[in-house]
Amino acid sequence: MTRPAPSPSPAPAPAARRDAWLDNAKMALVTLVVVGHAWVLLPASHLEQSAYHALYVWHVPAFVMVTGYLSRSFAWTLPRFRSLLLTVAVPYLVFEAAMAIFRTTVGGEDLDRLFLDPHWPMWYLAALFTWRLVTPIFLRIRYPLVVAVAISLLGGIVGGDVLDISRAMGLLPFFVLGLRATSADLDRLRTRGWRAIGALALVAGAIAAWFLHDAVSMELLYWRSSYADAGYDVAGGLLARAALLLVAGVTALGALAWVPRRASWFSALGPATLIVYLFHGFVVKGVEYADVLGWAADLPVVGFLVVTAVSVAVALALAAPPVSRGLNPAIDPLGTIDDLNVRRWDEEIPARGAGAALPPEAGVPIDPARFPGNLR
């Protein structure tokens, strides 16, 4: 009796195509984070102070918007909570400890309240953890942006530095704006009209920062302090933050409208955004401890250009595939162990024979995007 021919195995599902615009946006914004942190190393000058103020009005809000857009799939389920712990909480604990050791042993700094009060630049992971937890709420309620703005304004009155909750509340409207955005909204953003708005806002912001940067407290632009700590009374603080929410939101959206849609070598670096963010602090702090930029006081323009170029190069180098692959185990230690275990079983199964028992996790495809919605 002839056996029926075995049915062909189904073809594997094609891998989801990455959105080049999102990768370009993430890589551009994290590069600006590195640039902004590097500018702090320069001796104070009118150029550096103006550029720093102009950048900090919008680039972190834009980063938070993109993070919100990539957080839309989070839900209160065990797999998602596990992912939140592995991809946000674990890197926070690892790098908060690593940065503290580096700053105390190499830089001789005195740090306190480790883990409870995030030390630069770990605040973003702490804030992200909070934003993810409230994501399902803001996906369901009516008028989510109105609620987020109210929380942001009231947060400046209360303050609070435990897990940088004040910063998380202050920037919440930008997260919610990205969270509730749709692909159609992104299409409407990437138009000539929004690019024109973005160009005007960026130019106006640069001019305003050149003439008015001394009048604006950086504590306001950091979103981390209460109104009192930033030098405002309650009424003045509410007015200042409300104005900043409007200006930062429009400028951030306008800047994002200029992000190219086309895939390129630059967009290929987008998956390594979190690596750039977590590792660049060691480079910046190392340069600070080496104290090698004193010469820039006499050459402020040259120093500004050199530091800007070097910081861009650092971001690109950290995101380069050979480097990011080597650094990835540090930001995802538990996931790396899981990968190694699966690979070990994949290598051992053929040797055991077709009837060998499989561990529960064997054969489960590893999700290459271990950081859903963060700086993925």
| Unique residue bearing structure tokens 């009516």 | 142
Residue 358 pLDDT class (50, 70, 90 cuts): very low
Torsion of CA 262, 263, 265, 267, to 10 degrees: 100
- Secondary structure, 3-state, 132-144: HHHHHHHHHCCCH
Q: Does residue 356 have a pLDDT over 60?
A: no
Position with higher pLDDT, 48 vs 18:
48
Is residue 343 predicted with pLDDT exceeding 60?
no
pLDDT in tens, 268-285: 999 999 999 999 999 999
> Any alpha helices (H) in the chain, and if so which ranges?
20-39, 46-56, 59-69, 78-84, 90-105, 123-140, 144-158, 165-170, 172-179, 183-189, 192-212, 218-222, 234-256, 273-290, 300-319, 321-331, 333-352
- What is the pLDDT at residue 364? 30
Q: Do the Cβ atoms of 280 and 99 come closer than 8 Å? A: no
Q: Which of the pair, 190 or 361, is modelled with greater confidence?
A: 190
Instruction: From residue 318, give the alpha-carbon distance in Å to each of 32, 184, 269, 276, 324.
Output: 14, 33, 9, 6, 6
- The rounded distance, in Å, linking the Cα atoms of 151 and 139 is 16
**At a CB cut-off of 8 Å and minimum separation 6, what does 354 contact?**
none
Mean pLDDT of 153-177: 91
Structure-token pair, residue 56 = 């900090």
Within a 13 Å sphere around the CA of 312, how many CA atoms are in the beta-carbon half? 7
Residues 48 and 42: beta-carbon distance below 8 Å:
yes
Per-residue pLDDT, 339? 60
Q: Give the whole-angstrom CA distance, residue 205 versus residue 215.
A: 14
The residue assigned the tokens 């940067």 is: 213
The better pLDDT of the pair 11, 192 is held by 192
| pLDDT score of 124 more than 50 | yes
119, 111 in Cβ contact below 8 A? yes
Q: Which tens digits make up the pLDDT trace of 87-109?
A: 999 999 999 999 999 999 999 88
Q: Specify whether the CB–CB gap between 279 and 220 falls below 8 A.
A: no
Closest C-alpha to 283, from 330, 308, 315, 331: 315
Q: What's the half-sphere exposure (Cβ side, CA atoms, 13 Å) at 79?
A: 5
Lowest pLDDT segment from 14-28, 248-262, 323-337, 355-369: 355-369
Give the whole-angstrom CA distance, residue 228 versus residue 230: 5
- The Cα–Cα gap between 178 and 185 comes to 10
Going by C-alpha positions, the residue among 211, 214, 209, 219 that lies closest to residue 240 is 219
Query: Which stretch of 153-162, 174-183, 337-346 has the lowest confidence by average pLDDT?
Result: 337-346
Q: What percent of the chain has pLDDT over 70?
A: 85
pLDDT at 117: 83
pLDDT per residue as tens digits for the range 211-238: 988 888 888 999 988 898 888 999 999 9
Report whether 138 contacts 69 (CB < 8 A): no
At 263 the pLDDT is: 94
pLDDT of 28? 97
pLDDT at 1: 47
